[in-house]
Amino acid sequence: GGAPPPPPPSPLPPPPRPSPPPPSPRPSPPPAPPSSPFNIPAGGVAVLDGNEHGAKVLFCLFPGDESVDMITDDITRDSSVAMPPRSTIATQCCHKDNGMCYRRIDDDCFSGFSENVFPYISIRRTFPQAAAFCSSQSMDLCEYGCKGKGCAYNSHPVFSKLPCPYQPPSPPLAPGALCSNTCDFRSDGSCDDGGDGSSFGYCELGTDCDDCGSRTAPPPPPLSSPPPPPPSPPPPSPPPPP
């Protein structure tokens, strides 16, 4: 007999599992958009009378008014100042070096020629749009009214880069806040409403708001418990036996 056949070869071990791919890095959050150089500054900007050579302030725009392009009921203004006959705000630009005012280049009025039918001008802009337009023309918004420079903008308010001379509007009071100035000693530099931090207690809480700030109304007193019910009467005595 011959030699026994060789044993069959051992099966190869299975190949190792491939390593899982490394986790993908999280995408970085998008960078915050840069603040536009044409935003309304915190102190507000003045809108001027286009029918003046100088800087007659009609009203102001504050942060939050970026969509305003005309006179509205809630703009911040001096109610004694008369508004122009045409309510939309026109764009005019001034040369950065010599301050020369322009309302048009050749025959192209920056806001379109003003007609006597609302909205009067064909190109309506907000403050950021007007500032960006002037910048695109290598100019700035002006610091005066530019009366007589054409396009019939004398009948309009016009954008400017002048800071607002008025105080910004106060934020709305929280529900339940007390803030009035009916105290006889109001606005004298001393807080007189008797609340926290007050110097005197001559007035009711919340009536010297300029000096004390707004106050929170005190909570109502707790309701008193109702009196206990009267005791039940004793049961009637049984009748005597006959």
pLDDT averaged over the chain? 86
When comparing pLDDT for 199 and 5, which is higher? 199
Rg (CA), the chain: 38
Q: How confident is the model at residue 208 (pLDDT cuts 50, 70, 90)?
A: very high
Tens digits of per-residue pLDDT, 124-174?
999 999 999 999 999 999 999 999 999 999 999 999 999 999 876 666 667
Residues in the chain: 242
Calculate mean pLDDT across residues 62-84.
90
Q: In sequence order, which residues have a C-beta less than 8 Å from that of residue 178 and are 6 or more positions away?
A: 205, 206, 207, 209, 214, 215, 216, 217
- Dihedrals φ, ψ of 127, to 5°? -60, -50
Tens digits of per-residue pLDDT, 101-118?
999 999 999 999 999 999
Q: In sequence order, which residues have a C-beta less than 8 Å from that of residue 123 and are 6 or more positions away?
A: 91, 110, 111, 112
Calculate mean pLDDT across residues 213-233.
76
- CB under 8 A, 24+ apart: contacts of 148-151: 148/53, 149/92, 149/101, 149/102, 149/103, 150/103, 150/104, 150/109, 151/90, 151/103, 151/104, 151/109, 151/110, 151/111, 151/112, 151/113, 151/114
- CB under 8 A, 24+ apart: contacts of 14-22: none
Tens digits of per-residue pLDDT, 8-27?
666 666 666 767 666 666 65
- Eight-class DSSP state of 108: E
Short-list 144, 36, 22, CA closest to 93: 144
Tokens of 222: 């707790």
What is the pLDDT at residue 28?
61
Tens digits of per-residue pLDDT, 28-72?
655 544 556 799 999 999 999 999 999 999 999 999 999 999 998
What is the C-alpha separation between 233 and 84, in angstroms, rounded?
A: 84
Q: Is the pTM of this model over 0.85?
A: no
Short-list 236, 195, 238, 233, CA closest to 213: 195
Q: In sequence order, which residues have a C-beta less than 8 Å from that of residue 133 and are 6 or more positions away?
A: 91, 93, 110, 125
DSSP helix, strand, coil percent of the chain (3-state; round to 5): 5, 15, 75
Tokens of 221: 């007193």
